[in-house]
């Protein structure tokens, strides 16, 4: 049986709302997991050597390019070997944590994980994004339109990498700790409870598809 690849990009540990909801999903999933914690072991940002590795003949690689290609190969093999995905990616300053953007840039390679014409190698594999946020960004909220994380992930993980993407966004996370947001605590409690319920349901029903190593 293939594994679930869990890419974790939250800076906090047990107190992280994203990690808490992810744990509910994992408890319901119950299968084999490969966990990469980018807060503990971040991957390098894409470099000139990394781009060169994608564009030139391997016989011309310098030692620096060989090393950069090795990093990409490890991450791509790990990605393609999975049958499903869990991404814990909180909203930081209206966008992606930089460690997660670095992971995407290493993995998203045309001709390897992004198809030139037909479906991508991971096309249709299920993926869950858990993205907690301190406030709220839904329609009607004061910050509506400022969430640049979810649209980016729909483009990269969904459109380009071909994953069947589900997104949970537990909101109002700062309400219990910021006095000015105290009136929003009931909305926070409702949002986090719904996220846990959906995570549990998805963990039990993921239409898992076998991965194949690159």
Decide if 130 contacts 21 (C-beta within 8 A). Answer: yes
Across the chain, mean pLDDT equals 93
Domain membership flag for residue 80: yes
Whether 40 maps to a domain, the answer reads yes
Q: Which of 7-11, 30-34, 137-141 has the lowest mean pLDDT?
A: 137-141
In a domain, 180, yes or no: yes
Q: What is the pTM for the complete model shown?
A: 0.93
Which residue carries 């890419």 as its tokens? 7
Q: Is residue 121 a part of any domain in this protein?
A: yes
3-class SS of residue 84:
strand
As a dihedral over the C-alpha atoms of residue 63, residue 69, residue 75, residue 80, rounded to 10 degrees, the angle is -150
Would you mind telling me the total number of residues written for the chain in this entry? 214
Q: Let me know if residue 214 belongs to a domain.
A: no
For 111-168, what is each residue's pLDDT tens digit? 999 988 888 999 999 999 999 998 888 887 778 888 999 999 999 999 999 999 999 9
Please report whether residue 211 resides in a domain: no
For tokens 């709220």, what's the residue? 136
CA 182/CA 198 separation, integer angstroms: 25
| Degrees, nearest 5: CA angle 6-7-12 | 110
Q: Is residue 137 assigned to a domain?
A: yes
- pLDDT value for 1: 57
> How many angstroms separate the CA atoms of 94 and 102, rounded?
17
In the chain, alpha helices (H): 17-29, 48-55, 63-80, 98-107, 149-153, 185-205
8 Å CB contact between 175 and 137: no
Token digits for 188? Answer: 């926070």
Distance CA 185, CA 176 (A): 6
The percentage of the chain sitting over the pLDDT mark of 70, rounded to a whole number, equals 98
CATH number at residue 196: 3.40.50.360
Paired tokens of 12: 């906090």
Check: CB of residue 29 under 8 Å from CB of residue 203. yes
Q: What single DSSP character describes residue 44?
A: P
Q: What is the per-residue pLDDT across 172-199, written as a single tens digit (0 to 9) for each?
A: 998 999 999 999 999 999 999 999 999 9
| pLDDT tops 90 at residue 56 | yes
Domain count across the chain: 1
Q: In what order do the strands lie in the sheet with 3-8?
A: 33-37, 3-8, 82-88, 126-130, 164-168
Q: Is residue 213 part of a domain?
A: no
Can you give the residue range of the structural domain that contains 135? 3-205
Q: Indicate whether 209 pLDDT > 80.
A: no
User: What is residue 213's predicted lDDT score, i.e. its pLDDT?
Assistant: 43
Q: What are phi and psi of 35, to 5 degrees?
A: -110, 125
């Amino acid at each position: 049986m293939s594994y679930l690849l869990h890419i974790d990009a939250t800076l906090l540990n047990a107190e992280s709302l994203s990690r808490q909801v992810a744990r509910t999903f994992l408890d319901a999933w119950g299968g084999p997991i490969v966990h990469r914690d980018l807060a503990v072991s971040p991957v390098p940002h894409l470099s000139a050597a990394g781009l060169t590795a994608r564009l030139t003949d391997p016989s011309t690689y310098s030692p620096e390019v060989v090393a950069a290609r090795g990093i990409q190969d490890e991450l791509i093999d790990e990605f393609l070997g999975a049958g499903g995905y869990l991404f814990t990616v909180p909203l930081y300053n209206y966008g992606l944590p930089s460690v997660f953007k670095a992971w995407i840039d290493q993995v998203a390679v045309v001709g390897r994980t992004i198809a030139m014409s037909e479906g991508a190698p991971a096309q249709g594999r299920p993926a869950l994004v858990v993205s907690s946020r301190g406030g709220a960004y839904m329609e009607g909220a004061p910050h509506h339109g400022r969430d640049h994380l979810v649209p980016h992930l729909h483009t990269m993980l969904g459109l380009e990498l071909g994953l069947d993407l589900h997104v949970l966004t537990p909101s109002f996370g700062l309400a219990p700790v910021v006095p000015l947001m105290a009136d929003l605590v009931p909305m926070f409690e409702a949002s986090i409870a719904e996220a846990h319920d959906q995570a549990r349901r998805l963990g039990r029903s993921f239409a898992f598809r076998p991965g194949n190593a690159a």
